[in-house]
Amino acid sequence: MTQNVQQGTQQAIDHAAAAERYLAAWNATEAGELAEAVAAAFTENATYTDPLAEVAGHEGLAAAIAGAHQQFPGFVFRPLGAVDGHHDIARFGWELVAPDGTAPVAGFDVVRLAEDGRIRSVSGFLDRVPAM
């Protein structure tokens, strides 16, 4: 009974919308657009950790995203499969698509969401990476 009462008082979090905002941030390339997209997707003190990066805050996130675009110019992040979520946690796959349509990079992220639906932490995993 307590669980139902608590669930009834919590605002429902839209996990799919959070993942959409996340990918929109990763697809933003212009500085002003990137800053807006990061602010829309992430809390001010959000953290991001994957095998290649560990950053915090909007500036750190924007720098990591800009770095990905420098390394992969013209590539676009797209969702891979459905978003799965419960409570304040969501997981989803993504791939990085080249201008020729190939997707040499793919990954899987687990995010924790704030009450407003923005991301407060990301744990990222790389499933497919090109040989460097």
Residue 7 in this model has a pLDDT that exceeds 60:
no
- What is the number of residues in the chain? 132
State both tokens at 23: 């990918």
pLDDT of residue 64: 97
Confidence of residue 130 (pLDDT cuts 50, 70, 90): confident
Q: Write the pLDDT tens digit of every residue in 69-90.
A: 999 999 999 999 999 999 999 9
pLDDT of residue 12: 83
pLDDT of residue 132: 61
Residue 58 in this model has a pLDDT that exceeds 50:
yes
pLDDT of residue 2: 34
Mean pLDDT of 20-47: 97
User: Do the strands 89-97 and 76-86 form a parallel or antiparallel pair, or are they unpaired?
Assistant: antiparallel
Residue 5 in this model has a pLDDT that exceeds 60:
no
Confidence of residue 66 (pLDDT cuts 50, 70, 90): very high
pTM for the full model?
0.89
Which H, E and C letters describe the chain, residue by residue?
A: CHHHHHHHHCCCCCHHHHHHHHHHHHHCCCHHHHHHHHHHHEEEEEEEEECCEEEEHHHHHHHHHHHHHHHCCCCEEEEEEEEEEECCEEEEEEEEECCCCCCCEEEEEEEEECCCCCEEEEEEEEEECCCC
